[in-house]
Amino acid sequence: MPGSNGAFDWRYTRWQRGIPAPVDGVIIHEEQVRIHVNGIELVSFMCTPKDLDLLALGFLRSEGIIEDIADVRLLHTCPSETCIEVWLRDAEPVLPQRAIVTSGCGGGVTFDDLSQRVPPVESLVTLTAQQVNDSMRQLVDAATLYRLTRGVHTSALSDGTQIIAQAEDVGRHNTIDKLWGYCLQHDIATADRILLATGRISSEMLNKAAKMRVPIVASRTSPTSLSVQLAREWNITLIGYVRGDSFNVYAAGDRVLPTSSLE
């Protein structure tokens, strides 16, 4: 049975040096979940059915369907954890019609058109090289579900010193939506924060970061060519392969300072 932490207890067979042995372990929980808005099914996607209220809030904010948590009259997750019912204060909201399946694992979906203009992110936030590496270590240390299953992505918002919010899911995009949902629920500003991620930074994820007005995005892995292009256009510092004491900066590198500059 699935646990509330997003994982299943499971008995499987481990082969080592050609010899099988039964092992009691855990695997990540994945479900197809639907979001209904005012009784109308808006979208369905694959996700880890944990913190579904945050996922729904963040997705609706990212897609521009809500601007604030005050726009939501009622949010209810069904007992089976396969649907989220959202009722808005606006009885007849304008809902998007054309969904785009994204490149992310976990069946990411967006209604957004990346050709639409996004204003550049203006921010005075900077990080030293040491802060970049330390922040990524904090993200990995906070990834409890990843350590348990080795099967999820993790993202977090940081102020450069400590993690403010953190989320895990089978889908990279879902982690960003859960983060934004958490911030909406707890009245936390997302502007001028650092977005940390364990997964590849795609154009869709960078688009979410731009809407959150996040000036710095850092990942343990690689960005895509389009995300680099958009980061330069939107003035977002894009950092990849943050591992150990090294990393690569692909765009807007002026926000990253030598460690000695603040000593």
Among positive and negative, which fits the CA dihedral 154, 56, 111, 191? negative
- Alpha-carbon Rg for the chain in angstroms: 19
Instruction: Please report, in angstroms and rounded to a whole number, the separation of the first and last CA atoms in the chain.
Output: 52
Active site residues: 105
147: left (phi over 0), alpha (psi -120 to 50) or beta: alpha
Give me the amino acid identity at 39: G
Give me the amino acid identity at 110: T
Contacts 24+ apart (CB under 8 A), 185-193: 185/53, 185/54, 185/57, 185/69, 188/157, 188/164, 190/157, 190/214, 191/123, 192/123, 192/124, 192/125, 193/157, 193/158, 193/159, 193/164
> How many alpha carbons fall within 13 Å on the CB side of residue 13?
4
Do the Cβ atoms of 48 and 151 come closer than 8 Å?
A: no
Please state, in angstroms and rounded to a whole number, the distance separating the CA atoms of residues 120 and 231. 9
Please state, in angstroms and rounded to a whole number, the distance separating the CA atoms of residues 119 and 211. 9
- Mode of pairing for the β-strands spanning 216-219 and 194-197: parallel
